[in-house]
Amino acid sequence: MIPLKDENPTHITPYVNYSLIVINILVFIYQYFVTPDPEAFVWQYGLVPAELLQNINLGSLSTLLTSMFMHGGLLHLAGNMLYLWIFGDNVEESMGHGRYLFFYLIGGLFASAIHILTAPGSRIPTVGASGAIAASLGAYLVLYPRSRVLSILPLGFFFRLTTVPAVIVLGLWFILQLFQGLVTLGGPDVGGVAVWAHIGGFVAGFVLAKPLSRGTLYQRMARW
């Protein structure tokens, strides 16, 4: 099931979500079309769990952040940005601009931490915004479970456009990630995909959605 758009309009301009999408695209362009050696760029700024744990310093810890804005290819980038475009704006509206940025980064960092815990010996560079975006998916599920999502539903050799409640689209996505994660726990990543980072990010978003959304104790504090 591939989501195309949600039927949940926002009443603000999601500046942070737009900025995150632009930054990811610019980093991708720089990575593949400006740097003389894209592979070396990945090794320098991607997250390598084994190397980070063996040599914890400011440089290795910075890859927890830099890896969140890099991607392994055009399809990787396009898929991530599609999910961020569909679901991130509503989460930003619920939280406000400053808290949403904080939430996004914390979700990504937590996702990376879970990846390190589940694959501490991995020497494969991990890149991508998937963990942070998964946090947005988890938050969206909590905040807008009944929102309808226009999706492509594969039916063998045919495809059908249909609207599905967000709880089904995102619930199925999480179940698939969890199944893949349990199958490969302790082993190599599935096709180079850090599945447990997705799971960790989703859980972080699910837990933080309500505390950081408008109308909570945090909302009564000074706005960022």
Domain of residue 128, residue span = 2-220
**Residue 182, CB half-sphere, CA atoms under 13 Å: how many?**
5
CATH of the domain at 50: 1.20.1540.10
Number of domains in the chain: 1
DSSP string of 109-160, one letter each residue: HHHHHHHHHH-TT--S-B--SHHHHHHHHHHHHHH-TT-EEEEEEEETTEEE
For residue range 151-161, list pLDDT tens digits in order: 988 877 778 89
Per-residue pLDDT reduced to its tens digit, 88-118: 999 999 999 999 999 999 999 999 999 999 8
Q: Is the confidence at residue 214, as pLDDT, over 90?
A: no
pLDDT mean over 117-127: 90
- Crossing angle between the packed helical segments 97-118 and 195-212, to the nearest 10 degrees: 150
Distance CA 39, CA 173 (A): 30
* Span 108-130, average pLDDT: 92
What predicted TM-score, i.e. pTM, was given to this entire model? 0.89
Decide: helix, strand or coil at residue 9.
coil
Q: What is the DSSP secondary-structure string of 47-114?
A: B-HHHHHHS-SHHHHHHHHHGGG--SSHHHHHHHHHHHHHHHHHHHHHH-HHHHHHHHHHHHHHHHHH
